Amino acid sequence: MPTLWNGTSQSQFRLESMSTSLHHRAIENLGTRIITGELPTGHIMLAEHLEEELQVSRSVVREAVRVLQSLGLVETTKRVGIRVLPPSRWNPFDSQVIRWRLSSDARGASCGH
């Protein structure tokens, strides 16, 4: 099996990049839905349901939730789930949050809201 310049096999590289793209897709999906209000403040999500809905593994959901937690969008509580936090808790200086908010504002403007 051919190896890449960093010693990683091509199949391992494909798996890692596939996992990264799934992780990115999960973050984008959930972040956008939270920012637009599709997933409103206080909404509780379960990791099992997110796995099914997003068609990803538990580890991808966990990593995406960690990123969203670091942005202040969600918090996790054992035996309860993943709760969407209010906008006052979001990190207003994070580039992803800014991008999602701008995209959300543009969608609202184009829809006449």
Whole-model pTM: value is 0.76
Tens-place pLDDT, residues 51-82: 999 999 999 999 999 999 999 999 999 999 99
Distance, in Å, from the CA atom of 1 to the CA atom of 21, rounded to the nearest integer, reads 23
The domain over range 12-110 is classified in CATH as 3.40.50.720:
no
Nearest to 70 by CA among 94, 104, 36: 94
The pLDDT of residue 62: 95
For the chain, what is the largest distance between any 2 Cα atoms, rounded to a whole number of angstroms? 55
